Amino acid sequence: MPLVDGDLIVYSATRFDFMLAHPETARLATWLRLERHTHPSQREIDSYRAKVDAIAAAQREGRVIDGISAAGLFAMVLRLTETGWSPLTTAIGTDPRAPHQLA
Secondary structure of the chain in the HEC alphabet? CCCHHHCHHHHHHHHHHHHHHCHHHHHHHHHHHHHCCCCCCHHHHHHHHHHHHHHHHHHHCCCCCCCCCHHHHHHHHHHHCCHHHCHHHHHCCCCCCCHHHHC
pLDDT over 90 at 52, yes or no: yes
pLDDT over 90 at 82, yes or no: no
Contact between 3 and 81 (Cβ < 8 Å):
no
End-to-end CA distance of the chain: 23
pLDDT over 90 at 56, yes or no: yes
Cα 24 to Cα 20, 67, 68, distances in angstroms: 9, 34, 30
Q: Quick one: pLDDT at residue 20?
A: 82
pLDDT over 90 at 11, yes or no: yes
Q: Quick one: pLDDT at residue 63?
A: 94
Q: What is the mean pLDDT of residues 54-76?
A: 95
Q: Quick one: pLDDT at residue 98?
A: 62
Contact between 36 and 29 (Cβ < 8 Å):
no
Mean pLDDT of the residues in the chain: 83
pLDDT over 90 at 51, yes or no: yes
pLDDT band (50, 70, 90) for residue 65: very high
